[in-house]
Amino acid sequence: MVRGVFKIFSYILSMSKILILLLFVIFLPRIFVTYINTKTYGNITSKNAEFRLGLENIRLGLLKKIVTSENGKIRMGLITNQTGKDQFGKRNIDILLAKNIPIKKIFVPEHGLDGNIPEEKKMKNSIDAKTKIPVLSLYPGDKTKILDEKMLKNIDVIMFDMQDAGMRHYTYVTTLFQAIDSAGKNKKPIIILDRPSILGPVIEGPLVDKNCKSGISFASIPIRYGMTIGELALYYNNKIRSQKAKLHIVPMKGYRRDSKVSNRLLTHLSPNIQNILSCHGYSFLGILGEISPFDVGVGSLKAFQVILLEDKIEFSHQKWKGVHNILDSLGIKNHFYRFFDKRKNNYCSGLKIQIKNINQTPSFKALVSILKFFKKSGLELTFSKYFDKAVGTAKLRKFLENKISWKEFSRHVNKNLYLFYNKVSKYFIYKPFPKVEYL
């Protein structure tokens, strides 16, 4: 009896060992893969934690050092919109209030506090629904408004926290420069919460000629400037303003301008720039859209991701192949794209583009290269009234109209880029430093 029980026990034990061995063989690779994935994710999370926005570094103590008020209470005016978020999607308004940093007024640029108002649409003053703080429009019509003495009444300090698009002709940058002007004129300190250069480290394109200064080319900086908001502010305040404002930069931590982790788009920039693909495409299609008969998808889900012509224009597939080859050689992936445009009641054909590595893509060179091709192909180009202002010079248009030579245009651009870089390099805060892309 005992011997029988022992045999049964031995059999069960043997089968258990075999089962355990099988389970070990089957699940060990999965456990290993899970461990590797967990470790990798842990490293990524750790790296993310090392990188911090200016917003994530601001403290009430800094304001107390900068601002002196009679009763000890600080009244702050915050210039921001939907882009003013931390890496977890929390609004700067709520973050600052939680840090006991008081916000008296909120000033918002084009597209409004939530970034959903169409371009060039008039905005009215309102109230932030959550905090009941007054929201004052800096875009009451077709151009940005400078903060005046009336708007800054009962304000001790101005704070600026917005993500820009990396291009000079985007009005958020104009709002930054006008805020610095206003701070200097009204003797108010201004604090910039620094944010990434969303288009990476490349500096390229024309500066602004004197006769082209406007709301979309407010200061003479390159069309793609490769700098952070803080670096731009330092340069503008020290080299362009005749009288310096009391400017303070709250820098980012662990930022590299060539890092994908640092240069993520945390939310949409505007109704037509909803994602990073549109943001990258805007780096050259934003200006192409100022030329007829091109359609760059504005108003659709493919805004700044397509280059299209109506089929009635009869631009051959072979010619589109030529455009494809130019873009492909510059690192801009693209493929043939055709759809029916209900707005135009016609089919449109062309290319859908995607920039894989914005850090290595010369976007202004791409714009000029395809425009030269379109010109050579015989396509008739009509320039909008904003084209010269967006580019910053009339020389590109004049070259395309055969009024000046390529040598004159490229020399003008390259000389100004060289001079600009020599002046601006002392204001770079982060490494690697931006690189200049000459024509």
Contact 275, 265 (CB under 8 A): yes
Q: Which structure tokens are listed for 326?
A: 């130019």
> What CA–CA distance (Å, rounded) separates 93 from 79?
10
Q: Which structure tokens are listed for 20?
A: 């355990």
**Which pTM was predicted?**
0.86
- Tell me the average pLDDT across 168-187: 95
φ, ψ at 44 (rounded to 5°)? -60, -45
Domain 60-250 has CATH 3.40.30.10: no
pLDDT in tens, 344-370: 888 999 999 999 999 999 999 999 999
User: Tokens 């590595």 map to which residue?
Assistant: 357
Taking Cα atoms as reference points, which of 22, 118, 431 lies closest to residue 251? 431
pLDDT score recorded for residue 120: 66
- To the nearest whole percent, how much of the chain has pLDDT over 90? 74
Strand partners, 407: none
φ, ψ at 5 (rounded to 5°)? -60, -40
Contact 81, 109 (CB under 8 A): yes
Taking Cα atoms as reference points, which of 378, 299, 295, 379 lies closest to residue 337? 295
pLDDT-derived band at 70, boundaries 50, 70, 90: low
Taking Cα atoms as reference points, which of 419, 427, 391, 366 lies closest to residue 436? 419
User: Tokens 């905005």 map to which residue?
Assistant: 123
Q: Tell me the Cα Rg of the chain.
A: 27
Which of 60 and 24 is assigned the larger pLDDT? 60
pLDDT score recorded for residue 14: 58
Q: Is the pLDDT of residue 6 over 70?
A: no
pLDDT in tens, 82-105: 999 999 999 999 999 999 999 999
pLDDT in tens, 240-273: 998 899 999 999 999 999 888 888 999 999 999 9
pLDDT score recorded for residue 44: 30
Which of 261 and 17 is assigned the larger pLDDT? 261
Q: Is the pLDDT of residue 303 over 60?
A: yes
Which of 37 and 3 is assigned the larger pLDDT? 3
Q: Is the pLDDT of residue 71 over 80?
A: no
Q: Which residues in the chain are classed under CATH 3.90.1150.140?
A: 276-406
> What CA–CA distance (Å, rounded) separates 93 from 264?
21
Taking Cα atoms as reference points, which of 238, 259, 260, 258 lies closest to residue 247? 238
Q: Which residues in the chain are classed under CATH 3.40.50.12170?
A: 60-250
Q: Is the pLDDT of residue 65 over 80?
A: yes
Contact 103, 131 (CB under 8 A): yes
Which of 259 and 119 is assigned the larger pLDDT? 259
The fold of 276-406 is: Aspartate Aminotransferase, domain 1 (3.90.1150)
- Tell me the average pLDDT across 338-344: 86
Q: Is the pLDDT of residue 312 over 50?
A: yes
Q: Is the pLDDT of residue 193 over 80?
A: yes
pLDDT score recorded for residue 163: 97
HEC secondary structure over the chain: CHHHHHHHHHHHHHHHHHHHHHHHHHHHHHHHHHHHHHHHHHHHHHHHHHCECCCCCCCHHHHHHHCCCCCCCCCEEEEECCCCECCCCCEHHHHHHHCCCCEEEEEECCCCCCCCCCCCCCCCCEECCCCCCEEEECCCCCCCCCCCCCCCCCCCEEEEECCCCCECCCHHHHHHHHHHHHHHHCCCCEEEECCCCCCCCEEECCCCCHHHCECCECCCCCCECCCCHHHHHHHHHHHHCCCCCCEEEECCECCCCCCCCCCCCCCCCECCECCHHHHHHHHHHHHHCCEECCECCCCCCCCCCEEEEEHHHCCCHHHHHHHHHHHHHCCEEEEEEEEEECCCCEEEEEEEEEECCHHHCCHHHHHHHHHHHHHHCCCCCEECCCHHHHHCCCHHHHHHCCCCCHHHHHHHHHHHHHHHHHHHHHHCCCCCCCEEECC
Alpha-carbon 206 to chain mean position: 19
Write the CB contacts of 134 (distance below 8 Å, at least 6 apart in sequence).
105, 106, 125, 126, 127, 128
Give me the helix-helix angle, 363-376 and 317-329, nearest 10°: 150
Write the CB contacts of 197 (distance below 8 Å, at least 6 apart in sequence).
166, 225, 226, 227, 228, 257, 263, 434
Q: Which structure tokens are listed for 96?
A: 């600052």
Contact 201, 434 (CB under 8 A): yes
> What CA–CA distance (Å, rounded) separates 431 from 64?
30
User: Tokens 């240069």 map to which residue?
Assistant: 263
> What CA–CA distance (Å, rounded) separates 118 from 122?
9
Average model confidence (pLDDT) for the chain? 88
Strand partners, 52: 253
Q: Is the pLDDT of residue 393 over 50?
A: yes
> What CA–CA distance (Å, rounded) separates 100 from 94?
10
Contact 196, 263 (CB under 8 A): yes
Q: Is the pLDDT of residue 43 over 60?
A: no
> What CA–CA distance (Å, rounded) separates 362 from 327?
10
